[in-house]
Structure 1
Amino acid sequence: MLTETEFVIVGLGAMGAASAYQLAKRDTSVVGVDRFAPPHDLGSSHGETRITRAAVGEGGAYAPLVAASHRIWRELEAETGEDLFRACGAIVIAPGSGASSHHGKPDFVARSTEVAVENGIPHETMTGAEAKKRFPQFVGLSGDEKVYYEPGGGYVFPEKCIGAQLARAAALGAEIRTGEEVLSLAQDGDRVVVETSRGKIIARHAIVSAGGWASNLLGSPFDRLLTVNRQVLHWFELDDMSAYSTDAPVFIWMHGPGDVDYLYGFPPLPGDPRIKVATEQYAASTTADDLVRDVGAEESGWMHETHVAGRLADASTRVAKAAACLYTVTPDNGFIIDRHPHMDRVVAISACSGHGFKHSAGIGEAVAKAVVDGAWGPLEAFSVGRFGG
C-alpha cells in the first residue's frame, strides 16, 4: 500500500496526538501511525492522571507551553464534553535548608516562584508549618520547609486527553492508523519515505514522536542522547479519606538533596479510596521493548517505606495497583523539539524526560505553527544543537 500525504506523524501518544490534532485544525493532509492502539499502557502516557502546573521550575521556556496546554484542554472539553483537566491546585515542597534537586535543577521551589512572578501566574509561598495547617494530608512536614502553592495547577487525565485529540483529528480529516509498525524512515530529496508493516508512506514532512522507540528511527545523534528509564507508579489504599478534602492538591515533595530523594502524587479521585504516588530513578536504563512491565510487591513495599510512610496521612501499605512506565531522558533532563540535524524535513519531539505531558497540547500547537508557518522561535530552547556534535 502506498500513501502520499503532507505530514506523517510517527507515534500517537501525548505529543503525536497533539500534533495530529493541531495540524488537522490547520486543514493540512495528515497521516498518523502507531504500532499500538493509543491511548495504551505501553509507553509514557498512561496511569490515569498526570500533574500539571503553570510555573515550571525546569525553566521559563516551558511556561508558555503549559499555558497553551491549559487553554487547549478547556477548548477540547467544550468540544467533546470530556472531563480532561481538574484544577485542584499544585504544591511543591523542599527542605528549608540544605541542597535539593528536581530534574537536575537545584532549589526547585525558588525556581518555580521565579517563573510564576515573571509570567504573572497566581501563586503563594509558605512555610511547612503553614502548609501543614492548611493541608492536613501532609503529616510529615517538620515546619521549616519551603513551599510553593499554585491554585490553578492540578492534574489531567492522559488517556482521555490523547483519545480526545485523536478523535478530533480524525473528525477534521486526519487519517489515524493504529496497529501499524514503522520499520524505517529516510529523507529522499524534499520527501520523507516511511516504510511500515503495511506499505510505504511518502510525505513532505515527518514528525517523530515515538517516545522510547524514537532513537531507533532517528539514528545519530539521538541514539547517543536518549536514555530510557523504567519508572513505577503505585496506588495505596487509604485507611481514612477525611484528611483529603475535595480541593486537595497534587504534590511534588523533595525531602533530600538528590533528584531521587522525592515523591510526587495525587489526591484520591472522587469516591476512590486510593492515593497514587511515585518517585523516579535514573540509575538503570532499559529499552522500550525490554521494559519489565510487572511490578513486584517488594517495589511497592520499598516505595512506601522510603517515601510514603510518615509523610502522607492514612496511606496504608495495601497496594491497590502498580504499573510500570518509561521515561525517555536527555543528558540535561530537557526536551528535544527540533528538526533532525541530518534530515531537515524530519522533526523530532523527544525526549520529554519525565515532565512532558503537562506541555503536550501546547507542544502540538507550537510544532504545527513551526512546520506550517516557520515559527520556530518559541522552540529554540529545545534545540538538539545545544548538545553539540
Structure 2
Amino acid sequence: MTRRVDVAVLGLGAMGSATLYQLAKRGASVIGIDRFVPPHTLGSSHGETRITRQAVGEGRDYIPFVTASHRIWRELEAATGETLLNACGALVMAPGHGVSSHHGKPDFVGRSISAAEGAGIAHAVLDGAEVARRFPHFLNLAGDEKAYYEPGGGYVIPERCLAAQLACAAASGAEIRTGCAVRALRQDGDGIRVETTDGEIRADRAVVAAGAWTAPLLGQPFDRLLTIRRQVLHWYALTDTAAYGPQAPVFIWMYGTGDTDYLYGFPPMPGERTLKVATEQYGTSTTADAVERRVDPLESAEMYQLRVENRLAGATPAVVRAAACVYTVTPDRGFIIDRHPAMDRVLVVSACSGHGFKHSAGIGEAIAADLAGEPRHIDLAPFALARFG
C-alpha cells in the first residue's frame, strides 16, 4: 500500500532531522527516511562535538542560520532536558603577517571580525600575547598572532541534537523509517514518488538531505558538483587538564598560508582527560560507500607530530580514540539549498562542505517555513545551483 504524505524527508542527518522536526512542529504530514539508524557514525553528523560560532568567516549569508540554530537548540534543551550547546567561547587565530586561508577564504580572521562588526555580535580581537595570557594551554605562540574571540561561540553535541530533533518530530506526529534505503524518486504530475526498500511513498514534496549519498541518488548535475572527502578526528590523552580551565574555548588555529596549515579542537569534555583535535584534507576523494572507516594508527601519529606536539599543553601522543567521517563538498565550499533543476517539487539540501552542522537547525527551520508558505526571513538565493553555471 502506498503511503501518502505532505513531505518526505530523505536522509536524517544534520539537515534532515532539523527539517523533519520543523515540518512536524508546523503540523505537516511528514515522513523521514534513513538507510541507517541515526544518530550513527557513517556520515557527517557524529564525533561528539561540533564547533559553532555566529560570526562566520565563510560569509555573512550564513549568519541568520547559525543565529537561529542557537535559539532552536536552547528551545530543544528546555523541551528535552538535554544539554546541546556549550557556549565555552570560540577562538579563530592566524599569523599576524602574511595571508592565511580557511575553507577557501583568504584572511579568515579578518572576515570573521568584519562579520561580527556588521551583525553586532559580541567579540574581541586579540594578539598572541593576550591569547597566551587568557588561554595558557596554547603553546609557542609567536606573539604577533591575530585572533578573533567570540564568547558566545562554543560547541554543540551532534548526536544529542539529532536525537532531540527526531524525538520531538515523532512526538509531533512525524513518521520515521530507519534502515530503509531510497532506491529512486521521480516527479509524477503534481507529486513525488519515492521508491524505497519498504515500499512506495507518495508525497506532495520531497526534501533530499542525503549528504554523501545525494549524488548517487540524484545524478546530474549533483554528480559533477559534489565531491566526498574523508576526514579524521583524533582524541589524545592529556597529562593534565588544569591549563585549560573552565574558560578554554574551541579553536581554529591557522599557523600557515594554506588551507591545510591549521588544526581545530575542543577543550576537554567535562570529567574527561582527552583532547579532540583534527584538520581537514581536500586532496583525496572517495565515495560514501567506499570510504575507509578505520583510522590507521599512523594517521594519528602523523597528526600529533605535525600539528599537535608543542602547540597544546598536556597533549600526549597516546591515542584514546580516532574516527573517520566524510565531507560532501561543492566547488566553492558553500551549501546547496535549491529546487532540483528537473523536479521542482524536490528541494535539495546538501553539501555542508565541512561547516554545516552549526547552521543545520536554522536551515531546517527556514526550509520548513518556506514549504509551509510562511514569509521568508532568510535569503536562500546565495545557495542556489545557478551560481555554478
Deviations 1:348-388 (A, max 9, x none): 11101000000000000011111221656521111111101
Specify the SS of the correspondent of 2:291: coil
Aligned positions of 1:124-273 closer than 5 A? 124-273=124-273
Shift of 1:140: 2.5
Whether the 8 Å contact between 1:308 and 1:315 is mirrored in structure 2 is yes
Whether the 8 Å contact between 1:250 and 1:267 is mirrored in structure 2 is yes
Deviations 1:6-52 (A, max 9, x none): 00000001100000000011100100000000000000000000000
Aligned to 2:315: 315
Structure 2 unaligned segments of length 5 or more: list them. none
Aligned counterparts of 1:226 and 1:70: Cα–Cα separation in 2? 28
Whether the 8 Å contact between 1:76 and 1:164 is mirrored in structure 2 is yes
Aligned counterparts of 1:119 and 1:381: Cα–Cα separation in 2? 18
Aligned counterparts of 1:65 and 1:343: Cα–Cα separation in 2? 25
Specify the code of the residue in structure 2 equivalent to 1:368: A
Whether the 8 Å contact between 1:254 and 1:262 is mirrored in structure 2 is yes
Specify the SS of the correspondent of 1:244: coil
Aligned to 1:384: 385
Q: Provide TM-score, normalisation by structure 2.
A: 0.99
Percentage identity across aligned positions?
A: 63
Aligned counterparts of 2:27 and 2:370: Cα–Cα separation in 1? 15
Specify the SS of the correspondent of 1:133: helix
Aligned counterparts of 2:372 and 2:214: Cα–Cα separation in 1? 22
Specify the code of the residue in structure 2 equivalent to 1:378: D
Specify the SS of the correspondent of 1:378: coil
Aligned counterparts of 1:75 and 1:337: Cα–Cα separation in 2? 24
Aligned counterparts of 2:53 and 2:160: Cα–Cα separation in 1? 18
Aligned counterparts of 1:318 and 1:375: Cα–Cα separation in 2? 52
Aligned counterparts of 1:71 and 1:140: Cα–Cα separation in 2? 37
Specify the code of the residue in structure 2 equivalent to 1:93: M
Aligned to 2:365: 365
Specify the code of the residue in structure 2 equivalent to 1:325: C
Aligned to 1:48: 48
Aligned to 2:339: 339
Aligned counterparts of 1:322 and 1:339: Cα–Cα separation in 2? 37
Aligned counterparts of 1:297 and 1:234: Cα–Cα separation in 2? 10
Aligned counterparts of 2:181 and 2:380: Cα–Cα separation in 1? 28
Specify the SS of the correspondent of 1:283: coil
Aligned counterparts of 1:375 and 1:263: Cα–Cα separation in 2? 40
Aligned positions of 1:30-69 closer than 5 A? 30-69=30-69
Aligned positions of 1:74-89 closer than 5 A? 74-89=74-89
Deviations 1:279-313 (A, max 9, x none): 00000000000010000110001100111111111
Specify the code of the residue in structure 1 equivalent to 2:118: E
Aligned counterparts of 1:199 and 1:15: Cα–Cα separation in 2? 24
Aligned to 2:91: 91
Aligned counterparts of 2:106 and 2:370: Cα–Cα separation in 1? 31
The ranges of structure 1 where at least 4 consecutive aligned residues each deviate by more than 4 angstroms after the TM superposition are 374-377
